[in-house]
Amino acid sequence: MSCQRYETEALTGFPPTPELREHVAGCAECQQAERSYAGLERLAAVAGSQASPPPGWEQRLTARLAQGPARRRFPLRWAAGAAAIVAAVAASFFLPGRGLGPGAPMLPTQTELLAAGGSRAATAAVGGSWKVSADARQEIRVWRNQQTLVLRCGPTPADGCADEGERRVATVPLAAPGEYRVMVLTPGAAPLPEPVGFDQDAQLARARGASYAVIEPLVVY
């Protein structure tokens, strides 16, 4: 699978954006990924319905322990259901193309709105700032309306960027209205490509063996 946009944008816990839905409608690979994850969710739901222990099991267990070593096993159907959930969740983290590669795990990306008001967590007003931090080995790129590069924080020092120990911090000025998108790139064997555009950067990064992740867009008005 060469296109991973569904995996990187739809599995963040936030509702899919209109742009992502439009992309999925015309991308067979993302449609297949969407069907696969829907099947995984159904499997987890079925397993969860079987994961509760039978009524009265705790009382029976206590009585059995009071009698000494048990001579028979309790029904394990609920335990098997729990194991199925664990297996399903584990599979979702080991699908091809989603890992960040060998070595120490990357620190999680964090975001925070600074001096900016908004009616929802995903909106803010012009004049504020958006603070984004990631692992110091990663590069942070912030785009407005997917075409205008607002900030790039990489190995080369830049205004609004700072390395603080193991973290790389980007302070994004929200100077104009629009949709702000953050892409966090993890270098592969080849150097990361120069910024071109939000979608183009993702494609070029994959072509060079790099990994990337995106954050829920921030709408500035």
Over residues 10-42, the pLDDT tens digits come to 766 566 788 888 888 988 888 888 887 777 666
> pTM (2 decimals)?
0.52
Tokens linked to 181: 């998108």
Residue recorded with tokens 């994959």: 206
Closest CA to 131 of 147, 115, 146, 155: 115
Residue 103 belongs to some domain of the structure? no
Residues 90 and 114 in one domain: no
Residues 52 and 145 in one domain: no
Residue 26's Cβ-count burial label (10 Å; 0-12, 13-18, 19+) is exposed
Res 93 pLDDT > 80: no
Residue 142 belongs to some domain of the structure? yes
Q: Total structural domains in the chain?
A: 2
Check the CA dihedral 157-158-163-168 and report its sign: negative
Partnered with residue 168 across adjacent β-strands are 134, 163
Measured CA to CA, the distance from residue 182 to residue 141 in angstroms comes to: 6
User: Which of 98, 131, 157 represents a domain boundary (last residue)?
Assistant: 98
Tokens linked to 37: 């994850």
Domain containing 193: what range?
110-220
Res 100 pLDDT > 50: no
